């Protein structure tokens, strides 16, 4: 209920915000068009109607899944974005996997031996990961791996295969080499976060009684870490990552711009340049939807996983 309200309010804010942006007619109509042609153009795009009427039309269409046609491409904005979505999702998922696969072991290591040199360098590295602006790291990666060393391609997306109806590129070498740099770039920030979460979790868990008990039982150290510690630190890591997936999609705007990755973030930046209002509005609506959806799912998961939350709900 509340989620629906947020979507409606955000739709109004987004629409009125974008409404204030410069006049798209100026850009679309060629310079030598006369007044009559201009007015035809304005009328055909529905820009002559008052603001509230435009918003009303927008909402009534949006409910039916029509977020308007792009001014530039003359195609439904929703379709254009959905067309680009798999590329962005692929990037975000690969980045998330990188963050998990490298972040958890490094974080656990740093948590087990907090005083060792390796742990200290891991933690310093994670501060760097937090501080470095994503786009600059991206540029440096291009400079190093594409320009100086020539190992990886700098821009674009590689060969695409259709798997289960989705265009996916990671399973061929060409596609993988294209996705590697942008994904690592996008993952850096989350990687630092996972390292910090896993480290804090490990340090906390190591002092618990059940670890002492496991040691007393004579279990192997590797089993203690892999089973007892890992299971307990996974809970906070997975929740936070679930919430942060939306952040990854949003941040891919930057990474996609640096690496010219043909996803929806790149489309957004291009559309801002062209003042293509319907695409901007549609993109933002999709993102709002995605966020509200993720929050809802996380909330529901909480109440399933954590009995305390459920009890509070019953009381109130």
Partner 1 sequence: MTIIENNPELMAEDRNDEENYEGAQTPLRRFLSDFCEARLAVFGFFIILVIALVAIMAPFIAPTDPYNLATVSILDSRLEPGEAMMSGTIAYLGTDGAGRDMVSAMIYGLRISLGVGIGSGIIAMLIGISFGLLSAYAGGKIDSVFMRIVDIQLSFPAILVALVLLVTLGKGVDKTIIALVVVQWAYYARTIRGTALVERRREYIESAVCLGLSKNRIMFRHLLPNCLAPMIVVGTMQIAHAISLEATLSFLGLGMPQTEPSLGRLISNGFEYILSGKYWISVYPGIALLITIVSINLVGDRLRDVLNPRLQK
SS (H, E, C) 215-244: HHCCCCHHHHHHHHHHHHHHHHHHHHHHHH
Report 241-280 residues binding partner 1 (CB under 8 A). 246-247, 250-251, 253-254, 257-258, 269, 272-273, 280
Nearer to partner 1, 56 or 133 (CB): 133
3-class state of residue 168 by DSSP? strand
Which residues are registered as beta bridge partners of 166? 163
Report 136-165 residues binding partner 1 (CB under 8 A). 136, 139-140, 142-143, 146-147, 154
SS (H, E, C) 75-142: CEHHHHHHHHHHHHHHHHHHHHHHHHHHHHHHHHHHHHCCCCHHHHHHHHHHHHHHHCCHHHHHHHHH
- Which range of residues in 16-24, 32-40, 86-94, 202-210 is near partner 1 by CB under 8 A? 16-24
246's CB contacts (< 8 A; 6+ apart) are 287, 290, 291, 294
Structure tokens at 36: 């009559």
Report 277-296 residues binding partner 1 (CB under 8 A). 280, 284, 287-288, 291, 295
Nearer to partner 1, 6 or 240 (CB): 6
Nearer to partner 1, 202 or 230 (CB): 202
CB of 283 to partner 1, least distance (A): 10
Q: Does 183 bind partner 1 (CB under 8 A)?
A: no
Pair type for strands 161-163 and 166-168: antiparallel
**Cα–Cα dist 197/234, whole Å:** 9
CB of 250 to partner 1, least distance (A): 4
Exposed / middle / buried, residue 289 (Cβ in 10 Å: 0-12, 13-18, 19+): middle
Contacts with partner 1, 59-98, as mask; x by CB under 8 A:
----------------------------------------
CB of 82 to partner 1, least distance (A): 19
Where on the chain is the footprint of partner 1 (CB under 8 A)? Answer: 6, 14, 17-18, 20-21, 127-128, 130-136, 139-140, 142-143, 146-147, 154, 246-247, 250-251, 253-254, 257-258, 269, 272-273, 280, 284, 287-288, 291, 295
């Amino acid at each position: 209920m509340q989620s629906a309200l947020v979507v409606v309010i955000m739709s109004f804010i987004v629409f009125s915000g974008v409404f204030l942006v410069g006049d798209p007619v100026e850009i679309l109509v060629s310079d030598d068009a006369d007044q009559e042609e201009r007015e035809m153009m304005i009328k055909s795009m529905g820009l002559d109607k008052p603001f509230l009427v435009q918003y009303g039309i927008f909402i009534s269409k949006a409910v039916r899944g029509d977020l308007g046609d792009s001014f530039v491409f003359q195609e439904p904005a929703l379709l254009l974005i959905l067309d680009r979505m798999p590329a962005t999702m692929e990037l975000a998922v690969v980045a998330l996997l990188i963050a998990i696969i490298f972040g958890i072991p490094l974080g656990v290591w740093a948590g087990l031996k907090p005083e060792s040199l390796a742990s200290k360098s891991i933690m310093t590295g994670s501060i760097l990961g937090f501080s470095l602006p994503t786009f600059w790291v991206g540029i440096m990666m291009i400079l190093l791996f594409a320009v100086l060393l020539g190992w990886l391609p700098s821009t674009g997306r590689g060969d695409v295969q259709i798997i289960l109806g989705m265009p996916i590129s990671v399973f061929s070498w060409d596609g993988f080499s294209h996705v590697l740099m942008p994904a690592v770039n996008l993952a850096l920030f989350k990687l630092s976060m996972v390292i910090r979460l896993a480290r804090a979790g490990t340090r906390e868990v190591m002092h618990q009684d059940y670890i002492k008990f496991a040691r007393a039982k004579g279990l192997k150290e590797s089993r203690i870490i892999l089973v007892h510690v890992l299971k307990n630190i996974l809970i906070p890591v997975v929740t936070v990552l679930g919430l942060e997936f939306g952040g990854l999609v949003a941040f891919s705007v930057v990474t996609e711009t640096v690496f010219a990755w043909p996803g929806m973030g790149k489309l957004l930046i291009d559309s801002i340049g062209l003042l293509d209002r319907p695409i901007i509005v549609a993109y933002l609506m999709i993102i709002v939807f995605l966020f509200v959806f993720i929050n809802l799912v996380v909330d529901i998961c909480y109440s399933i996983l954590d009995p305390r939350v459920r009890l509070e709900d019953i009381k109130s």
